[in-house]
Amino acid sequence: MPELFPQTLARIEEWKAQADVLGIVLVGSKGHGHADSLSDDDLEVVLSDEAHALLSPAECGEILVNESKKKLIYDVQYISLSYLQQRAASSHDLAHWPYQRGQILYDRNGLVTSAVKKAGQMTPEFRHLRLLHSTIDTWIVPRRAEKTLNRGYEASNRLIIARGAKALSRLIFGLEWRWVPLDHWLEAELTTLEDSSQVVPLLAKALEKGKPAPLAEALDRLEDRLFNEGIPRPAKRRDLFFELIHPSRTDERAIHGLY
């Protein structure tokens, strides 16, 4: 278990003594192995549905600050067991990412461990659609960015490149059956990928330089791997683009697409 602050450890013992506390999950930087001097202890305390229903929204959070050092010690969210169990059905990465590598600090009856495991998983069906849409969303960026640059719209180009990098990140995390992290942990999480095709440096280069070419090169490097995942080769990618933006797939696009 990562090293937690003494105040956090003491608070955990208090929670464990409360019958309505079903479990405690360590999320955030320490839960994902990215702890540094700026890190606090990010926790989710899972309550019974009945106990959670008695809390007001303002009572569903708790923080402890070392005022003399202006240092946040812990940041806690109180959630219900039902809320945690429902995370597995969500289409949002943030509903899954904290649990994919989060750590169980306490589980009263095994229900929290089970819910965390399910919330962190990505189904094959979801993953395939994620790969289809993120491939197309990455593929169209160099074409749009080139026109934008030719028009002299540098700020617009930066936005397009950022969206392309977001699409590429969804693609490379999806290839490894993983959810995309919060933006402020993207660089740290990228370093934990196997990245056998060495596209992570290209993603970083596209963002840092504001240029579309690294994104196109990244797709080229992933070409065989994507084909093996059932993604059409570039020659048929235009057809795939029109399939995915067809009105019949609007609901799907709202979940899996960036454009």
- pLDDT band for 222, please (50, 70, 90 cuts): very high
Copy the structure tokens of residue 116. 């965390």
Each residue's pLDDT tens digit, 3-23: 999 999 999 999 999 999 999
Q: Is 172 exposed, middle or buried (0-12, 13-18, 19+ CB in 10 A)?
A: buried
Q: How far apart are CA 221 and CA 181, in angstroms?
A: 23
Tell me which residue of 113, 69, 245, 94 sits closest to 182, measured CA to CA. Answer: 94
Each residue's pLDDT tens digit, 41-83: 999 999 999 999 999 999 999 999 998 888 999 999 999 999 9
Q: How far apart are CA 7 and CA 22, in angstroms?
A: 20
Q: Do the Cβ atoms of 26 and 103 come closer than 8 Å?
A: yes
Q: Whole-prediction pTM value?
A: 0.92
Concatenated DSSP letters of 116-173? HHHHH---HHHHHHHHHHHHHHHHTHHHHHHHHHHTT-HHHHHHHHHHHHHHHHHHHH
In this structure, CATH architecture of domain 6-120:
2-Layer Sandwich (3.30)
